Amino acid sequence: MNAFFSALSFLTRIPVPIRPNSRSWALSVRYYPAVGLVIGSILAGFDWAVAAWFPSWVRGVLILGLWVWLTGGLHLDGWMDTADGFGSYRPRERTLEIMKDSRVGAMGVIAAILLLLLKASALASTPGPLWIPLVVAPVFGRWALLPAIRLYPYLTQDGIGRGLRNGLTPLSLAAATALTLLVAVGSAGFRGVWFFVITLVSVLLFGRAARKRLGGWTGDMYGALVEATEAGVLLLWLLLTEVSV
């Protein structure tokens, strides 16, 4: 349980009863989709509580506000830093320096605004109950980190991703993938397989960009991957529900 609590402590603001150590940190990566399920369940419960009280746009913004708060803006920060670095069109070393800078530039601000608007719009525009995308998006957003960590090199020796690859064995990856697919198919039926497809596309696109521009991944790119995958899942569910209506 220490590894799960370590993942929960890192990925959310939810208090945990233990203090993470190096071993629990390395093993925590296998529990990322489970943490996504916790986040999604809280969001779905919140939506159930406010759905009857607010119109769709207000409801979408309130859900998104809780979403960002629950994660402490961790992944959103990585999204902004990645946008600043890749949007600078500078050489590799300068790009890494920009991404490490604690200050947010114009590209990061613009990218964050557009992303939040996109997520809020998708939530507000989706017909019917929102519990399916609210549960599935955080799960797949965090599962996406597993193949990214397993398949691609991590650049820095002192970043947040250090040691995670060692804790992700083929068996633990398979178990986390099974949980993720179970959540998708159990909530959305066979349409849930499309969530898996959009997530793999996100991982491959980010992986290609990371190799071409930097030669590997950084912690900021992991955060950007989570945000991009979540947005992709929300948009995909909107399209699937529009087609079926």
Average pLDDT over residues 122-129: 87
Q: Which helix (H) or strand (E) holds 38?
A: helix 32-50
Cα–Cα dist 222/25, whole Å: 16
Residue 162 vs residue 83, higher pLDDT: 83
Cα–Cα dist 8/1, whole Å: 10
Q: Which helix (H) or strand (E) holds 26?
A: helix 22-27
Cα–Cα dist 21/6, whole Å: 8
- Banded pLDDT at 140 (limits 50, 70, 90): very high
pLDDT in tens, 156-213: 665 555 667 777 888 989 999 999 999 999 988 888 888 998 899 889 988 888 888 8
Cα–Cα dist 142/30, whole Å: 10
- Banded pLDDT at 91 (limits 50, 70, 90): confident
Name the residue ranges covered by the structural domains of the chain. 30-244
Cα–Cα dist 28/164, whole Å: 8
Inter-axis angle of helices 170-188 and 193-213, nearest 10: 130
Q: Centre a 10 Å sphere on the Cβ of residue 241 and count the other Cβ atoms it contains.
A: 18
**How far are the Cα atoms of 3, 93, 98, 122, 148 from residue 140, in angstroms, in the given order?**
19, 31, 28, 17, 13
Residue 19 confidence (pLDDT): 72
Q: Centre a 10 Å sphere on the Cβ of residue 182 and count the other Cβ atoms it contains.
A: 14
